[in-house]
Structure 1
Amino acid sequence: MLVKDLISHIQEIAPLNYAEDFDNVGLLVGDKNTKVTGVLVTLDTLETVVDEAITNNCNFILSFHPIIFKGLKSITGKNYVERTVLKAIKNNIAIYAIHTALDNHIDGVNAMICNQLNLKNQRILIPQKQTIKKLTTYAPKTEAEALRNALFKAGAGQIGNYTNCSFNTDGLGSFNPNPKANPSIGTKGETHFEAETQINVTFAKHLESKIVQTLFKNHSYEEVAYEITTLENTNQNIGMGMIAELEQPQSETEFLIYLKDKMNVSHIRHSNFTNKIIKKVAVLGGSGSFAINAAKAAGADVFVTSDLKYHDFFQAENSILLADIGHYESEQFTKNGLVAILTKKIPNFAFILSNTNTNPVKYF
């Protein structure tokens, strides 16, 4: 398997189209045409992780966080980022970052937290906007079914738990081929009327190229009439954070004890107790202060996240319990979950879980 083949599999799981605009995801270091000898999965890529990859004969590091986040003006080894990149390049090791592409996945980082806490009725907390597109096209009535089925096979027409969704209207199309045309139906210089079917299907935005290619490949017309529009419809399968429910309600003290145990943390920073029973739990791995209001609006009793600043805790306003468990701690199970997903996706390929603890925060 080449690096580019592995990347194709990874992007089928977590398309980069759904990563946040501020992020730096994808192949950060390496040659796409290199043969993969092994894959090391890690939360962060540091020099010690590159050493671990070398020891395990892995020339591909799949990292959750991107080692290159801001632009590099030089690579001389003057800081940990440059030293890590240099060592990877010297040892022909590719580095791929998945970060918010996985954050926004329905089975990604936040689902992994929910599963660790045994939460039920999981759903996206902040659905990502403008992730659904619609194709409108016109085909000869006799060819509409075959074209429609080809589009379905390419991934169009999926709405929630339903597949092969479309809306079709029969009508009369007209066209007049000019002398340079090569019409499959009709005669040059004559206006032709054809019984046609208007086909409307929705699709996920990362499939646009595939859908258009399928349309052209399976349409008989020389010039294919079509429109693609971006919808405002909410996509419940893509977005930041999750909200779910405990199997059994708990007091705030009971929940914090439970949270420490399940997430394997020694300290939790939290807001004032609200004296409410905890039932609905919102989670967001990594820095989540931007989602406090979303958690409150969703009716969460507690919001589990990290990197909350002093003034962020005031936003609780006695209506929600804010629980900061630490950045690394909130994402620590991500690499395990990613290995499980990849192993299921590519069962005949070995993925190695990094043993390096990359948490830069220590407690005294």
Structure 2
Amino acid sequence: MFAKGQTVIQYMEQLAPKHLAVPDDRIGLQLGSLQKEIRSVLVALDVNDEVVEEAIAMGADLIVAHHAIIFRPLKQLQTDNPMGKMYEKLIKHDIAVYISHTNLDIAEGGMNDWMAEVLGIADGVPLDEVHAEKLYKLVVFVPAAHADKVRTAMLDAGAGAIGNYSHCSFNVQGTGTFLPQEGTEPYIGKPGKLEQVEEVRIETIVPQGIRNKIVQAMIKAHPYEEVAYDLYPVDLKGRSYGLGRVGKLREPVTLAEFVDVVKEKLDVPHVRVVGDLNRMIGKAAVLGGSGSRYVNSAIFRGADVLVTGDIDYHTAQDALMAGIALIDPGHNAEKIMKAKTAEWLQAKLSDSRYDTKVAASQINTEPFRFM
């Protein structure tokens, strides 16, 4: 059995929730339809003509890419120019294109965590905070005999996480009253008779991203025909999410030695470097893609070096004066996402017993050539 397009995307959005993306980022379905079975998925960094030909050759129904194929609004779609021809080819072969960009960068277990991990950055935290997840208070009233079952369902679904603690809740016993109306089938009592039941009021904290999941788990475990519960926002800061990662290296190394690590682990033949190659690097920051404007964030976080792409001349001069080293492996270093995303998505589909296959693109989309 093959997964439907919407199912594949639901899994992708578990890895990279859409609400994590920065405002106005071009993410989501950009071309085609998800209302079909997906036999195979191609994961790519960029979508160019070679990648489209690769997708056609493997019979892909869906391309999941990091960089948008429609970045600026289209004023017309002409099929006699290179971009128009590529769009036409995708449409004719019924290949949908879905983009996961800054939401994948920001997500825990996503792009910047992958880059930090391979570079040996331990316990990385966001370099630049973008979101603080909203928190909600969930209150539900449960007959005492079912309190453990409902509480466990909610907490196992992710409720009650506070800092490094999980399964946090508060419980108060009391008496609930209700009068079942005609046509109801109450779990306790009879229609037309006022009931008093010993109940437990369970309170817990719910993160925005999994709010619906927790509520559904609660309702499924609850014995009542109509579940009495409250869900309201609270003025507390939840988990922080942001671009980049910064943390200590597992072992201090010289900048020259760290350059070799970057080249090997990110699979790039050359890098641009700013700083004294003999200086010791103990704390490093990394940000996939274009990170010139995050140099000050790296300085503020106490990083000795920032690894990021697309460093411009004046930013390099400013960094040199400020005393922070820079390593620019190019924007294409984000290609680490191809194999990582494909592996993650394939595992999810296989665990659900779908026959859909996921492959990482083998096309090198680096536009620059080093001479």
TM-score by length of 2: 0.83
Cα distance change on mapping 1:260 and 1:94 into 2, 3 Å:
same
Q: CA deviation at 1:42?
A: 0.9
Matched with 2:300 is 297
Q: Is the 8 A contact 2:246 2:285 kept in 1?
A: yes
Matched with 2:284 is 281
Q: What's the CA shift string for 1:51-75, capped at 9, x where partnerless?
A: 1111111121111212122322332
Q: Is the 8 A contact 2:247 2:283 kept in 1?
A: yes
* Correspondent of 2:309 among 306, 310, 323: 306
* Correspondent of 1:207 among 207, 210, 218: 210
Matched with 2:332 is 328
Matched with 1:318 is 322
How many residues align? The count is 361
Cα distance between partner residues in 1 of 2:314 and 2:281: 23
Q: What's the CA shift string for 1:315-335, capped at 9, x where partnerless?
A: 434332122221112x02110
TM-score by length of 1: 0.85
Q: CA deviation at 1:252?
A: 2.4
Matched with 2:111 is 109
> Which shifted more, 122-131 or 86-95?
122-131
**Residues 27-106 of structure 1: matches in 2 within 5 Å?**
27-77=29-79, 80-106=82-108
Q: Is the 8 A contact 1:130 1:232 kept in 2?
A: no
Matched with 2:346 is 343
Cα distance between partner residues in 2 of 1:298 and 1:180: 64
Letter in 2 for 1:101: N
Q: Is the 8 A contact 1:40 1:60 kept in 2?
A: yes
* Correspondent of 2:366 among 356, 359, 362: 359
Cα distance between partner residues in 2 of 1:265 and 1:120: 22
Q: CA deviation at 1:186?
A: 8.9
Matched residue of 1:290: which SS? helix
Matched with 2:201 is 198
Cα distance between partner residues in 2 of 1:100 and 1:37: 27
Cα distance between partner residues in 2 of 1:197 and 1:79: 67
* Correspondent of 1:169 among 168, 172, 178: 172
Matched with 1:154 is 157
Cα distance between partner residues in 2 of 1:295 and 1:172: 55
> Which shifted more, 95-104 or 147-156?
147-156
Cα distance between partner residues in 2 of 1:101 and 1:221: 38
Q: Is the 8 A contact 1:173 1:193 kept in 2?
A: yes
Gap regions ≥5 residues in structure 1:
none
> Which shifted more, 37-46 or 125-134?
125-134
> Which shifted more, 302-311 or 137-146?
137-146
Matched residue of 1:152: which SS? helix
* Correspondent of 1:255 among 258, 270, 274: 258
Cα distance between partner residues in 2 of 1:344 and 1:117: 24
Letter in 1 for 2:271: I
Cα distance between partner residues in 2 of 1:96 and 1:40: 10
Is the aligned partner of 1:244 residue 2:251? no
Is the aligned partner of 1:233 residue 2:240? no
Matched with 1:14 is 16
Cα distance between partner residues in 1 of 2:296 and 2:235: 25
Q: CA deviation at 1:5?
A: 1.9
Q: Is the 8 A contact 2:136 2:208 kept in 1?
A: no
Q: Is the 8 A contact 1:141 1:170 kept in 2?
A: no
> Which shifted more, 188-197 or 6-15?
188-197
Matched residue of 2:71: which SS? coil
Cα distance between partner residues in 1 of 2:75 and 2:49: 20
Letter in 2 for 1:333: I
Q: What's the CA shift string for 1:1-30, capped at 9, x where partnerless?
A: 221222222222222222222212222222
Cα distance change on mapping 1:90 and 1:115 into 2, 3 Å:
same
Q: Is the 8 A contact 1:273 1:318 kept in 2?
A: no
Letter in 1 for 2:206: F
Gap regions ≥5 residues in structure 2:
none
Cα distance change on mapping 1:179 and 1:259 into 2, 3 Å:
closer
Matched residue of 2:38: which SS? coil
Cα distance between partner residues in 2 of 1:298 and 1:328: 25
